């Protein structure tokens, strides 16, 4: 976290962030490469054969690469489970999930802004958790070894085309967007949060959305939009 000057908040936020942002992030990846549990991931990237793969530090969502399996550096066929559909594509193992969505599947709701896990414009929901898709490799969440990959939800999947998800409608109503480039990321962070927190206060919203940045300054609208959407979504559930 770099945006928050209060050290206490920063500590709290970074903890929250760590809990929230699961899936393979680039920083985590770098840690893996530098540590003892490097094997599986490094092999994928370098395309080199590996003698023994340890999987102890690989997060549970990911399927380890079997010993001896070689992938890349050229394009690899893979299947991603996006918005309930299996999407087949052939891309290099180094392609991020964000670039796979945007460049190869024309799902451009998730935006590329910082491209290194800071701004949240690329936020999607992976296995129920808000995730910076710029900091996950597509191959890490693809079908592997006969097992289905992660459940990937993009903003295009939260409402059919031409219909507005109540959260999106609340962003419109509260003018929680100007240029709108950060907005889909905000909507997805909000959605993931409201899926598990039904009665947020404004202070809760400030914490929950600390991982998304806006340049136009729409935060006041966002604060109001999330609180209002929480009420209308709860009404829908009841």
Partner 1 sequence: MADYHWPPTDKCNLIGRRISRLDGPGKSSGRIKYSYDVNRPNMLHGKLVFSPYAHAKVVSIDTSDAEKMPGVKAVDIMTEPGKEVFWVGHEVAAVAAETEEQARDAARAVKVHYEKLPHLVSDAAPDKAGDHTKQLAEQTDGNPDQMLQQAEVVSEGEYGSPVITHCCLEAHGQVAEWEGDNLTLYASTQNVSGIPGEVARAKIVDAAEKVRVLTPVMGGGFGSKFGVDTWGLACARLAKKAGRPVKMMLERDQELMAAGSRPSMYAKVKVGAMKDGTLVGWQSESWGTGGPDAQGGAPNLPYVVRIPDRRVKHTAVLTNIGPARAWRAPNHPQMCAITMPALEDLAAKLSMDPVDLLQKNIQMTGQLAKTYSAELDKASELMDWKKKWHPRGDKTPGPIKKGLGVSIHTWGGAGHPSNCNCVIQPDGSVSVSLGSQDLGTGTRTVIGIITAETMGLPLEAVKVNIGDSKYPADGASGGSTTVGGVSSSTRRAATAALNQLMEKVAPSLGVKPEELEAFDGDIRVKGNPNKAISWKQACAKLGTTPITGVGQRQRGNDDLISSGVGGAQMAEVSVDTETGNVHVDKLVAVQDCGLIIDLKTAESQVYGACIMGITYSLFEHKIMDEQTGRCLNADLEFYKLAGIGDFGDIVVHMMTGQGFDERGVIGLGEPPVVSPGAAISNAVANAIGVRVPTIPLTPDKVLAALEQKGAVA
Residues that bind partner 1 (CB under 8 A): 2-7, 9, 91-92, 94-95, 99, 102-103, 106, 108-116, 118-119, 121, 154-156, 159, 161, 164-165, 167-169, 171-173, 175-184, 187, 205-207, 209-210, 212-223
The residue among 146 and 162 lying less far from partner 1, judged by its C-beta, is: 162
**Can you say how many angstroms the Cα of residue 102 is from the centroid of all Cα atoms in its chain?**
14
Cis peptide before 154 (omega within 30 of 0): no
Shortest distance, position 208 Cβ to partner 1, whole Å: 9
Shortest distance, position 95 Cβ to partner 1, whole Å: 6
The residue among 77 and 238 lying less far from partner 1, judged by its C-beta, is: 77
Query: How far apart (Å, rounded) are the C-alpha atoms in residues 96 and 92?
Result: 9
Cα angle: 233, vertex 237, 238; to 5 degrees: 120
Shortest distance, position 99 Cβ to partner 1, whole Å: 6
Shortest distance, position 18 Cβ to partner 1, whole Å: 16
Quickly list DSSP for 32-95: HHHSGGGHHHHHHHH----S----TTS-TTSPPPPTT----SS-EEEEEEETTEEEEEEE-TT-
76: nearest Cα among 60, 91, 94:
91
CB atoms within 10 A of CB 18: 11
Query: How far apart (Å, rounded) are the C-alpha atoms in residues 186 and 181?
Result: 10
The residue among 37 and 120 lying less far from partner 1, judged by its C-beta, is: 120
Shortest distance, position 145 Cβ to partner 1, whole Å: 25
The residue among 25 and 37 lying less far from partner 1, judged by its C-beta, is: 25
The residue among 63 and 223 lying less far from partner 1, judged by its C-beta, is: 223
Query: How far apart (Å, rounded) are the C-alpha atoms in residues 136 and 96?
Result: 6
């Amino acid at each position: 976290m770099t945006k928050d000057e209060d050290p206490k908040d920063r500590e709290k936020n970074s903890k929250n962030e760590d809990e929230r942002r699961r899936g393979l992030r680039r920083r985590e990846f770098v840690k893996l490469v530098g540590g003892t549990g490097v094997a599986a991931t490094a092999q994928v990237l370098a395309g080199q054969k590996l003698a023994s793969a340890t999987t102890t530090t690989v997060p549970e969502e990911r399927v380890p690469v079997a010993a001896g399996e070689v992938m890349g550096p050229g394009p690899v066929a893979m299947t991603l489970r996006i918005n309930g559909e299996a999407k087949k594509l052939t891309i290099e193992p180094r392609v991020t999930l964000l670039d796979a969505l945007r460049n190869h599947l024309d799902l451009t709701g998730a935006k590329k802004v910082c491209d290194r896990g800071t701004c949240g414009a690329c936020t999607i929901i992976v296995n129920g958790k808000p995730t910076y898709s710029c900091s996950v490799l597509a191959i890490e969440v693809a079908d592997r070894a006969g097992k289905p990959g992660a459940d990937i939800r993009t903003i295009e999947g939260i409402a059919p085309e031409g219909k507005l998800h109540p959260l999106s409608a609340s962003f419109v109503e509260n003018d929680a967007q100007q240029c709108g480039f950060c907005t889909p990321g905000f909507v997805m962070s909000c959605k993931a949060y409201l899926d598990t927190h039904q009665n947020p206060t404004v202070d809760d919203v400030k914490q929950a959305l600390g991982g998304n940045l806006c340049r136009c300054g729409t935060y006041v609208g966002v604060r109001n939009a999330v609180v209002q959407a929480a009420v209308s979504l709860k009404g829908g559930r009841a």
